[in-house]
Amino acid sequence: MLRRFTPARVALGRAGVGVPTAAHLAFQLAHARARDAVQASLDVPALEARLARDGIPTIVVRSAVADRTTYLARPDLGRRLDGDDAARLTPPAGDARPIAAIVIAGGLSAHAVDAQAPGLVIALAAALAADGWRVAPVVVVEYGRVAIGDAIGARLDASLVVVLIGERPGLSAADSLGAYVTWAPRIGRTDAERECVSNIRPAGLPPADAAERLRSIVAAARARSATGVHRPV
């Protein structure tokens, strides 16, 4: 009965003191998919091309990380924006509407970004524009962590940044995307000052529904000039 309502490994049955062969093989497959997701790198050119087809401009920048091995071992470097690339980020010209920045980072599951991020970005950018935001070009960082959005948002003079990042894969989902919203991004912001929407994937929160949830979070952040547990002073 429980297996009808959850993908969790419950009610697997028994084979002596172990689990049935089918359950054991399914576990091994899930574990392999999780390992593959962690080791995979983001296909940045393909992501750029996908967004360009829908009229979404992008800027590709680097973090202080040079390769996947370093990215996994040094989370702190993934939070830092490369100095040379930082100089390429300038506030978009235009009217006086507040600026919203969207950042895509591969995180711990490039598969999640490949599968979920393009559709979510397209829907979210349209929703923010309709709500009176000036949406900056989407910034793509292959080896970025959540906090790199603070540096990027500050460089773009954004009132708000949304970071889309591949979440750490579990044994039931290797394609889950997370979204972190931070008001008034600047270096030094903490996770307590963010809002998070997680498990964005077809079997969890579909990207179209995630875009609407993020739209409401952004509206609330704008109304109170804050995100997370902090309140405006």
- Segments making up each domain of the chain, as ranges: 38-224
| Dist CA 47 CA 43 (whole Å) | 6
Helix (H) or strand (E) holding 186: none
Predicted TM-score (pTM) of this structure: 0.89
Q: Are strands 160-166 and 99-105 parallel, antiparallel or unpaired?
A: parallel
Helices in 144-202 by DSSP H: which ranges? 148-155
Distance of CA 145 to the CA centre of its chain: 9
What angle is formed at CA 51 by the lines to CA 208 and CA 213, rounded to 5 degrees?
25
Q: Which long-range contacts (CB under 8 A, 24 or more apart) does 12-18 make?
A: none
Looking at residue 232, its pLDDT comes to: 52
**pLDDT digit string (tens) for the chain, length 233 residues:** 666 777 677 777 778 888 888 888 887 887 788 787 787 888 999 999 999 999 999 999 999 999 999 999 999 999 999 989 998 999 888 788 899 999 999 999 999 999 999 999 999 999 999 999 999 999 999 999 999 999 999 999 999 999 999 998 877 788 899 999 999 999 999 999 999 999 999 989 999 999 999 999 999 999 999 999 865 54
Q: Which residues of 34-50 are buried (b: 16+ CB within 10 A; e: fewer)?
A: beebbebebebeebbeb
Looking at residue 231, its pLDDT comes to: 56
| Dist CA 173 CA 167 (whole Å) | 9
| Dist CA 160 CA 195 (whole Å) | 11
Looking at residue 2, its pLDDT comes to: 66
Looking at residue 24, its pLDDT comes to: 80
Name the token pair of 144: 């970025």
Name the token pair of 153: 């948002």
The phi-psi region of residue 158 (left if phi > 0; otherwise alpha if psi is between -120 and 50; otherwise beta) is beta
Residues contacting residue 58 through CB under 8 Å, at least 6 positions apart? 47, 48, 51, 52, 137, 138, 139, 140
* Strand ranges for 13-84 from DSSP E: 58-61
Looking at residue 184, its pLDDT comes to: 96
Q: Please, are residues 82 and 64 in contact by the beta-carbon 8 Å criterion?
A: yes
Distance of CA 9 to the CA centre of its chain: 26
* Inter-axis angle of helices 44-53 and 110-130, nearest 10: 30
| Dist CA 115 CA 196 (whole Å) | 19
> What CATH number does the domain located at 38-224 have?
3.40.50.11240
Looking at residue 1, its pLDDT comes to: 61
